[in-house]
């Protein structure tokens, strides 16, 4: 029984057909690629001389709006990387009115995010019920020491200045509930102020009427008789 062995010296295509090589064809192909690329628009960004145009919702760094944070710990609990560190203590707030109850509230002592562990998933921002965390497109915060990538609350607050304004609402969208509540409160206040103004004007008119001297009855009768006589003449 005879076996035919393939000729390994001839290059073949994947389908098994032999591929003929023309001398210089590789060079021609390379030049063709070079020419094609030369005529295309360049996509290279000259960073850092030219800043890149980032999409408005880019995930660069996280900013903390401390005034909104109630230290509920939700972000720290949900962070998959456990890279949010929060310390707090409780404080007693005296009763707002006499006879009322004292309340206790959480006071923030430390809020830090370790960006060397963060994987920019955005879960902390999504779960925060009080809008205290925001994405900033700022990305130039590389450090030579990894420990400096833990940003404490002051630094996180500074990032808030780089957070872009929220995009405009869709024309057909409902107004946000905060805006509706603010409008209702403003309308109520305007009605109260108008009622107070009307009551004040009414009280002024009454006071003016009370100050006017009242004529005695005899005067008016004399006046009527006098005018009657004048009419006869």
Euclidean distance between CA atoms 52 and 137, whole angstroms? 11
End-to-end CA distance of the chain: 163
# chain residues binding ligand SF4, by CB under 6 A:
25
139 near ligand SF4, judged by CB under 6 A = no
Return the range that interacts with ligand SF4 (CB under 6 A); candidates 112-120, 140-148, 154-162, 199-207.
Answer: 112-120
Please give the distance of CA 127 from its chain centroid, rounded to a whole number.
14
State the nearest-atom distance from the C-beta of 178 to ligand SF4, in Å: 16
Q: What is the DSSP letter of 68?
A: G
- Tell me if 118 is assigned to a ligand binding site: yes
Which residue in 112, 113, 156, 163 binds ligand SF4 (CB under 6 A)?
113
Sheet containing 84-93, strands listed edge to edge, beginning at the edge strand earlier in sequence: 84-93, 103-114, 150-151
DSSP labels, 96-156:
SSTT---EEEEEEEEEEEETTT-----HHHHH-TT--EEEE-------SSGGGGEE-HHHH
Residue 107 or residue 191: which is nearer to ligand SF4 going by CB? Answer: 107
Residue 86 or residue 163: which is nearer to ligand SF4 going by CB? Answer: 86
State the nearest-atom distance from the C-beta of 92 to ligand SF4, in Å: 20
Euclidean distance between CA atoms 109 and 127, whole angstroms? 21
199 near ligand SF4, judged by CB under 6 A = no
Contact letters (x/-) for ligand SF4, 49-78, by CB under 6 A? Answer: --------------------xxxxxxx---
120 near ligand SF4, judged by CB under 6 A = yes
- Residue ranges that bind ligand SF4, judged by CB under 6 A: 69-75, 79-81, 83-84, 86, 113, 118-124, 128, 130, 132-133
């Amino acid at each position: 029984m005879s076996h035919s062995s393939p000729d390994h010296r001839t290059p073949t295509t994947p389908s098994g057909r032999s591929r003929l090589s023309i001398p210089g064809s590789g060079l021609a192909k390379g030049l063709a690629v070079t020419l094609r690329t030369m005529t295309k628009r360049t996509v290279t960004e000259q960073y850092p001389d030219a800043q890149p145009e980032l999409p408005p919702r880019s995930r660069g760094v996280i900013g903390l709006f401390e005034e909104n944070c109630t230290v509920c710990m939700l972000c720290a609990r949900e962070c998959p990387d456990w890279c949010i560190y929060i310390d707090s203590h409780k404080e007693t707030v005296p009763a707002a009115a006499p006879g009322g109850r004292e309340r206790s509230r959480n006071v923030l002592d430390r809020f830090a995010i370790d960006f060397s562990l963060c994987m920019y998933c955005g879960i902390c921002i999504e779960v925060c019920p009080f809008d205290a965390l925001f994405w900033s497109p700022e990305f130039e915060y590389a450090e030579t020491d990894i420990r400096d990538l833990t940003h404490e609350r002051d630094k996180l607050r500074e990032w808030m200045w780089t957070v872009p304004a929220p995009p405009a609402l869709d024309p057909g969208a409902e107004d946000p509930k905060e805006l509706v509540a603010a409008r209702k409160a403003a309308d109520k206040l305007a009605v109260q102020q108008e009622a107070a103004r009307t009551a004040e004007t009414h009280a002024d008119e009454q006071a003016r009427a009370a100050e006017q001297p009242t004529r005695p009855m005899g005067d008016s009768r004399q006046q009527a008789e006098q005018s009657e006589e004048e009419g006869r003449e």
